[in-house]
Each structure stands twice: as C-alpha cells, then as structure tokens.
Amino acid sequence: MQKTAKYKIPGGKLVEVKVEYQAEIENVEIFGDFFIHPEESIQRIEESLLGLDVKEDEETIANIIEKVVAKNNIEMIGVTPEGIAHAIVMAVVK
Amino acid sequence: MTWRVVGLEARDAYFNMAMDETLLTRIKEKKSPPTIRFYRWSPSAVSIGRFQSMEGEVNVEECRKLGVDYVRRITGGGAVYHDSKGEITYSIIAPESEFPKSIRESYKVICQCVIDGLANLGIEAQFAPINDILIGSRKVSGNAQTRRGGVLLQHGTILYSLDVRRMFSVLKVSKEKISDKMIKSVEERVTSVSEHKKVSINDLYGSLLYGFTKGKEYEFGNWSQEELEKAGYLRIHLYGTRKWNFSR
C-alpha cells in the first residue's frame, strides 16, 4: 500500500510524506519546503524508519528520528522529528 | 577580508545553481575569494527546494511550452518562479566564520543586507523568521542557506514585479484554483518593489549592491577560467540532468 499525507508544522514549514507499507514500513520519502543540514542526511532519517511496525505511535517514531538527528549532528529548521512522525501516522491511518 | 563582488548578470538556471555550488567548493579549497554575486534568470525558471518533489511542485509541461527552465536547488526551502524581468537574486558565499554560528541568526544578519538595500530606495522592510523579508505583512524576498565544509552559501530573491498568473501557470496549482479569488489572496500575501516605488530594476540592483557591500572591504571581479570550467561541468552533468532535478 502507498499513502501520502501533508502536515503544516505549526510555526514551521510544510512536510509531506509518501509511505509504502504492508504490516511494516517498506519505504518512506519525506518532502517539503523545510531545511535539513546537512541536506544528505534526510536519507538517514528516511532509512531509519524502514521495517517499522505501522502501528507504532507518533512518539516512538519521533524518538527514532530524534536519535538519528542527535547521532549525526543534524540540524532541522522549519521541521521537527515530531512533525515528520505526525505526517507518517497521518499517512498510515488514512 | 576582501570580498569579491560579481555584478548583475543574466544566466540560465543551471549555470546559476552550478556557479553557486562551484563557489561553495572552491572557497572551501581556498581557491576562490569570498563572493557576493547578483544575477537574473534567463530564460525565466522555476527553482525548487532540495527536499521538494519536481512533479509535485512544478507544471513541467507548461514550463516546456513556455520555455521556462526548472531546476532543483542545493538549498532547502520552497518553489520559486524566477521571472527573467521580475526579480534579482543574490548569493553570498564565504567561510562560515564570517557569520553567526547559528543558522537562524545568520539568516537575520544576511537578510539585513537586503533590508538595508530596500531602505536605500525608501522602502521599509522587516525580517520575518525563518527566512523571509516582508514589506508590511507581504513577502518581498525569500532566502535559503546551506553550509558545507565550513563554507556558508545563502541565496535569495528580491521581487521587482509580480505576474501572479504566470507564476501560477508554472507552479502546480490546479486550474480550478487559479480563480480571481486565489490570485487576490496571493496578491495579499506577496508584494514587489515596483508596487512601492517607481524605480528601475537597475536602481534596485544598485541599492542591493549598497546593502550588501556597506561596511565591507570589497572589489568588483569576474569569474576565473577555472570557475567557469567547473560551473560549466556542473551545469551539464548535475543541474541540467533529469537525475538531479527529478531525484524527489
């Protein structure tokens, strides 16, 4: 199954996700007009979500992203781990 | 530190983005001086942010029909229509030690150059975090920044005049939405210099030049052969490719 969702981060930018999944997340693409430094690290964030049970809650997903952000010294502007997690949950419960 | 200023030139989207990346790399290698450049986009073009989807943001078919180029930027941020006669873009590229460490703070410092330039025309503008400049409550300038290997690049556009209908024909908004109501709402959110002052685009350029060089030691310069070669390579092998432009 492939679903998309758009979420405007309060006080931030628009984040859009495209999620492919069965019981687990098979692919995630994150789009939007936000800033992530360094830019290449968006792939690390996307990859960190592969294999995740689609029933995971927003907080768990946000924590996974937060760990990747901290480990790789990623700076996010206009987007947050919680915002991406929210969009992913929006997509898979649609 | 002496800045090099490369004066207003009109180039295609692929060259414009390729030269920005060339400078980012060469300043890191200490082969090019810190540079402030001004340019226009000829032909007109759409640029999208690093994380945006080309198909999602741009009416590629319409661009082809109108001869409007489309390119993915190295920087994040949103999709922008760069009219060949309707705006000026700047890039400032230098070691990040020249700017505040915080990205948010450095947006403010660099955007102040644009604000000073507009003030020189008698237009009062304000910085609106994260990366916008407003006149009143309407956006006149969008800016985007990246940092790589200790070098900062910020580029941004300053709207001189606005053709909302053209903008909507190349950015992806469904035909039904291009109603008068929608156009009005964009006009309520976006403005341009010529709405506020009867000046030529050259006057705007002169004022931006003033805003960006005020208090800096600088000299006018041109591209070196090496810079043109590297930018020429990136223009063809990266920014002009479907692989890069449609990578998301």
Q: Is residue B54 assigned to a domain?
A: yes
Q: Is residue B150 assigned to a domain?
A: yes
- In this structure, what CATH number is given to the domain that contains residue B167? 3.30.930.10
Q: Does A28 touch chain B (CB under 8 A)?
A: no
More confident site: B186 or B246: B246
Any idea which residue has 């984040």 for tokens?
A15
Q: Is A78 in contact with B130 (Cβ distance < 8 A)?
A: yes
Mean pLDDT taken over chain B:
95
Q: Is residue B244 assigned to a domain?
A: no
Strands B151-159, B138-148: pairing kind: antiparallel
Q: Is B248 in contact with A78 (Cβ distance < 8 A)?
A: no
Q: What is the reported pLDDT for A93?
A: 86
Residue B189's H or E segment, with its range, is helix B180-189
In angstroms, what separates the C-alpha of B77 from chain A's closest C-alpha?
Answer: 4
Q: Is residue B221 assigned to a domain?
A: yes
Q: Is A16 in contact with B56 (Cβ distance < 8 A)?
A: yes
pLDDT tens digits for B148-207? 999 999 999 999 999 888 998 999 875 555 667 777 777 788 999 999 999 999 999 999
Domain tally for chain A?
A: 1
Q: Is B51 in contact with A29 (Cβ distance < 8 A)?
A: no
In angstroms, what separates the C-alpha of A3 from chain B's closest C-alpha?
Answer: 15
Q: What is the reported pLDDT for B185?
A: 78
Q: What is the reported pLDDT for B175?
A: 59
Does residue B111 carry a pLDDT above 70? yes
Angle at which helices A81-93 and A58-71 pack, to 10 degrees?
A: 140
Q: What is the reported pLDDT for B178?
A: 61
Q: Does A8 touch chain B (CB under 8 A)?
A: no
- In this structure, what CATH number is given to the domain that contains residue A60? 3.30.390.50
User: Alpha-carbon distance B72 to B76, whole Å?
Assistant: 9
| Domain range for A33 | 2-93
Instruction: Please report residues of B whose CB lies closer than 8 A to that of A31.
Output: 51-53, 56, 248
Q: What is the reported pLDDT for B173?
A: 73
Domain tally for chain B?
A: 1
| Residue (of B57, B70, B92) closest to B12 by Cα position | B70
| Domain range for B85 | 2-236
Mean pLDDT, consecutive 10-residue segments, chain A of 94 residues? 93 94 96 96 97 95 97 96 97 86
Q: Is residue B245 assigned to a domain?
A: no
Q: Is residue B247 assigned to a domain?
A: no
pLDDT tens digits for B24-60? 999 999 999 999 999 999 999 999 999 999 999 999 9
Q: What is the reported pLDDT for B181?
A: 72
Q: Does A42 touch chain B (CB under 8 A)?
A: yes
Q: Is residue B103 assigned to a domain?
A: yes
Whether the CB-CB separation of B69 and B44 falls below 8 Å is answered with yes
